[in-house]
Amino acid sequence: MYLLGEQSALADALINRLQNLPAQWLEGLLSCGPALELEATDDLSAQLPGDHVFLLAEGVINGYVGARALFYWQEGDLIGLQQGAEWADCRLRSDGALRLLPYRRHDFFQHLFADASRAEQFLEYLLGQMALLAHAVAELKPREFRSTNGFKRVEAGETLIHQGDAADHVFVIIDGHAEAFVDGHKVGDVPKDEIFGAMALFTGEPRNATVVTREPSTVMLIPGDQFLSMTRSNPKIAHSLIESMARRIGQLNKQITHLTAKTG
């Protein structure tokens, strides 16, 4: 069972290794009947007895959770290992013809655990599946943290932070651009991937600026207590925050220099 979608080179190599294992386990074990020849089907599980496992000799099977296709099995994989209430929402479907070799489930596991090397291969197979899922989660998870409050899509001109308000969240612009204002005067830009709104969390003082989106943007909100905890445990976040504050200070210094030159 593998996740649909493009895989890394490491994941592809792991899939190729795992795919060859089931045939090795089945050496010396006779199938309990002739191969099943099936046409395309929307619900393969309904056509297969629950007390069997099957070696997929030809075809491809997709696994759906709800209405979404998430997994696939290909030639050389075992069908029927996943059973129980935990898999009640998983539906197996095939868009083409299938050829399945049947084995009684009890006979299969008895044969598997009768030999230490086969049992070890089976453990390797299960751990490999877990590794593939871990790689997929790593690709989907944002680089540093995931906000418990999630993401917010806003239009241009939306006020994200009001000057004078109490600080309870930190923000990151995932997509878009914003501007910072103090007393109605622009004091800087807030570009994509910049952490903002953290200073007031550290000082405990009210917000010292208003931040308004300049274009339609996607913003991630991180609760203040969660963010403070992450800065203590994750040096990368602290480093990113320091860089952000350094850029902001540089912008303010340029504006002060410009205003001083105009009034001098």
Confidence (pLDDT) at 15: 81
51: left (phi over 0), alpha (psi -120 to 50) or beta: alpha
Classify 16 as helix, strand or coil: helix
Q: Model's pTM, two decimal places?
A: 0.51
Residue-wise pLDDT tens digits, 96-106: 999 999 999 99
Percent of the chain having pLDDT more than 90? Answer: 25
The C-alpha torsion from 80 through 81 and 83 to 87, rounded to 10°, is: -90
Task: List domains and CATH numbers for the chain.
Answer: 2-140 (2.60.120.10), 151-263 (2.60.120.10)
Residue-wise pLDDT tens digits, 41-90: 999 988 888 899 999 999 999 988 877 888 888 898 988 888 777 777 88
Confidence (pLDDT) at 256: 55
Give the relative orientation of helices 116-140 and 9-19 as an angle to the nearest 10 degrees: 150
Structure tokens at 73: 């099995």
CB 80 within 8 A of CB 66: no
Classify 204 as helix, strand or coil: coil
Residues 6+ apart with CB under 8 A from 102: 31, 32, 33, 35, 36, 52, 53, 54
Residue-wise pLDDT tens digits, 130-175: 777 777 666 665 544 444 456 788 899 999 999 999 888 888 888 8
Residue-wise pLDDT tens digits, 124-134: 888 888 777 77
